[in-house]
Amino acid sequence: MPGVRFDRLLTSTAVAILLSGVTIGAVAEPQSGSAADSAMAAPATAAPSAPTSDAPQRAAQHPAPAQESTSPAIPAKPEATSEQPAGTPSKPQADSAQPTAAAATNEQPAAPVNTETPAANPQSAAPVAAEAPAASPQPAAATGGDEVPAIATPAVAATAAPNAVANADAPVTEQLRELANGKFDRVTGGKKERAAIEAFYSGRDYAPLWITDGKPNERATAAISYLEKVGADGLDPADYPVPNFASLDDPAGLAEAEIRLTTSVVAYAHHAQVGRVHWSRVSGDIYYDQKPSTPAEVLAALADSKDVSETLDSYEPHDPGYVALKAKLAELRAGKAQPAQEQIPNGPAPRLGAQDDRVPLLRQRLGVPGNGTTFDKALSTAVKKFQQEHELKVTGTLSTQTIEALNGRQPDRPIDTIIANLERWRWMPHDLGKTYVMVNLPDFTLRVMHDGKELWKTRIVDGKPNMPTPIMSAEMKFITVNPTWNVPPSIVAREYMPVLEQDPSVLERMGLSVSTNPDGTVHISQPPGDKNALGRLRFNFPNKFLVYQHDTPEKHLFAYDRRAFSHGCMRVQDPVKYAEVLLSLVRPRDNYTEEKIRRMFGNSEVDIQFPQFIPVHLTYQTAFVDEEGKLEFRDDIYGRDKVLLAILKSDERKVADIPIVRQDNVIRREALAMPDGAFGRFGGGGFFSRLFGGGSSPPPAPPPQRKRSAQRTEMR
């Protein structure tokens, strides 16, 4: 074996002498030989075979003879100079596999010289390092056309690739690669963001997205400008910090700024699509299933975007209701929005026949004819009806509570109320559908929308404050004519069985059917008919809360302005017309008129299926812009604004976009399937009063409807 090593040494020495001669000749006579041409061809073909990021580890595991490592290092000297003429022809691609002695001379065969990977031997690094001072300190990163070193780093391989980043960005790329080595958390603030962002940059070989030629590019400038203005959508710009690129000039600082901007953009896109606060943190009576874009999708869209501002804006809702409310927020902040109606001043309550300067305004507000300032009997009677309608103490005098109701309870912080409503818009599907049903719970109204226009509108009764109607979106799939009400098993066991034990005939006397299920449990239901608690029609949109919309025998409750009387389901004032409108949209050829629907009333259930489902959006809009362009507010009947705003102003905001699993309201969910106001007309008292009336009786008498709601504050 010593003889073999000696032979190899002689061969290596001979090759070195030949290469030295060729190199000298190439410098002295650059146009007379082909050896220099061959040497300059090596960088152009080296990139495809560049080692990957684990090359040093593989080199340590598979060492090669040290003597052979000198051959590929020597031809680097001509490349390090700038004397090679431009346009020098390259050798064929086949030569790139052996850019060593064979590249320097045609007389020396390539295969015998190097039969193993030179870079694999750790000892080969020393000769290469010795030659390094003669060339640039970082040849691959600095020139983009340098030698293929014996031990190539990942950065060299990346910058030598055909799709490599610009040379000026190579240091930033290297720093991004370094940050990806377990240091992203320090910049992004969490493992969730780090994993997604690292995957994005890894996919683009750590080329920067926001930096070009070592400076922020137009994409970065547009993104920063947009994030600084997200307050217009009710978001806080402080949640999306942007870097100050002007103060940075070192690659490490630029790389961190790159990741910080990426993190902020990803966070904004997520919040714009599904909300700054996850709905699960507000209440167990809320549910949405919207899927935001992944960070990779967001960043890819921005990388390909011709208008970054437009792309970022696309993540926010663009429904006309959202856009109009956003405009009112800007007006309020600018001090331009003012109350549209004159406020009735506070003061002592006038006695009957007394003079009071507020009387003309009071007459106007209540629609009572007359002149002068006398508080007369007609006006007192109108005040009594107003008080009854709004569940106030009926006195007929102008009490402080009555004045407050007449003026409309404008929120203490209207800007905060709008911000809360803009946030809830982000929870909803951003595409509501061509045809959809929109329920506004605090407004107690239902609208059918088609092609961007209101097709029909009606009043509804929704859940009591302790039994709120949920906020969600679902799809209406069919209408049931002559519905049967089936009592949920848990309610049968918990509420009905104790009553049956006391009086086995009580339920039958109240029109309920009692039977036994196959498993031996008791089944209670109410058959179809005029006295059925669900009325003659039920509108079905299957959902986790077991709620629906339906008819009701208790029509008088629609005369009240504040109609929070149900157990969670929604009673519709004119269900037959509602059915006609919906069926005209989904089954136009079947001619379902009100008359045809009424002819279907009987003792048997009939389902009318929808060929195309209709989205139903149960919303909670305590601030909205009406058809006339006026900003209106409604009472926070379920406290949703209060909870949401408290989260935004507390330490919980730091994690507010992370969903939680709530246990509240789970037990009572089945109670929402209770027929709203059921059996109140039977008198019932005691158990049934508590069960269906929530411990209080329904309002005593139907008041006349008013044109203007006392709970409505209008602002232009």
Taking only the tens place, the pLDDT of each residue in 82-137 is 344 444 334 334 333 344 433 333 444 443 434 343 333 333 333 333 333 333 33
- Tell me which of 70-74, 376-380, 465-469, 496-500 is least confident: 70-74
**More confident call, 341 vs 133:** 341
Instruction: Compute the distance between CA of residue 639 and CA of residue 565 in angstroms, rounded to an integer.
Output: 16
Q: Is 493 left (phi over 0), alpha (psi -120 to 50) or beta?
A: alpha
Look at residue 522 and tell me whether its pLDDT is greater than 90: no
pTM above 0.75, yes or no: no
Token pair belonging to 543: 């959902």
Inter-residue contact 692 to 678 (CB < 8 Å): yes
Average pLDDT in the chain: 75
- Tell me which of 56-70, 553-567, 640-654 is least confident: 56-70
Look at residue 249 and tell me whether its pLDDT is greater than 90: no
Annotate 232-283 with three-state secondary structure: HHCCCHHHCCCCCHHHCCCHHHHHHHHHHHHHHHHHHHHHHHHCCCCHHHCC
Q: What is the mean pLDDT of residues 68-77?
A: 38
User: What's the sign of the alpha-carbon dihedral 201, 206, 211, 212?
Assistant: negative
Instruction: Compute the distance between CA of residue 2 and CA of residue 8 in angstroms, rounded to an integer.
Output: 10
Return the SS3 of 13.
helix
Instruction: Compute the distance between CA of residue 141 and CA of residue 45 in angstroms, rounded to an integer.
Output: 17
Annotate 595-646 with three-state secondary structure: HHHHCCCCCCCEEEEEEEEEEEEEECCCEEECCCCCEEECCCCCCHHHHHHH
Q: Which residues pair with 391 in a beta bridge?
A: none
**More confident call, 685 vs 228:** 228
- Tell me which of 139-148, 575-584, 658-667 is least confident: 139-148
Look at residue 397 and tell me whether its pLDDT is greater than 50: yes
What is the pLDDT, as a whole number, of residue 74? 35
How many Å separate Cα 396 from the centre of its chain? 50
What is the pLDDT, as a whole number, of residue 338? 59
What is the pLDDT, as a whole number, of residue 147? 38
Inter-residue contact 234 to 257 (CB < 8 Å): no
Compute the C-alpha angle 561/565/569, nearest 5°.
115
Q: What percent of the chain has pLDDT over 90?
A: 45
Return the SS3 of 215.
strand
Look at residue 631 and tell me whether its pLDDT is greater than 60: yes
Return the SS3 of 678.
coil
Backbone phi, psi, residue 314, to 5°: -65, -15
Instruction: Compute the distance between CA of residue 393 and CA of residue 383 in angstroms, rounded to an integer.
Output: 11
Most confident of 36-45, 171-180, 405-414, 566-575: 566-575
Q: What percent of the chain has pLDDT over 70?
A: 66
Helical packing angle, 400-407 and 377-389, nearest 10°: 70
Inter-residue contact 281 to 652 (CB < 8 Å): yes
Q: What is the mean pLDDT of residues 478-486?
A: 94
Most confident of 72-76, 101-105, 424-428, 633-637: 424-428
Token pair belonging to 709: 């709601």
Return the SS3 of 508.
helix
Q: Which domains does the chain have, with CATH numbers?
A: 2-162 (no CATH), 171-316 (no CATH), 359-407 (no CATH), 423-484+527-678 (2.40.440.10)
pLDDT band for position 494 (50/70/90)?
confident
Instruction: Compute the distance between CA of residue 199 and CA of residue 210 in angstroms, rounded to an integer.
Output: 17
What is the pLDDT, as a whole number, of residue 698? 43
Inter-residue contact 389 to 707 (CB < 8 Å): no
pLDDT tens readout for residues 175-191: 898 887 766 666 665 56
Q: What is the mean pLDDT of residues 17-32?
A: 41
Instruction: Compute the distance between CA of residue 450 and CA of residue 614 in angstroms, rounded to an integer.
Output: 11
What is the pLDDT, as a whole number, of residue 497? 83
With CA atoms as reference, report the closest residue to 38 among 51, 22, 50: 22
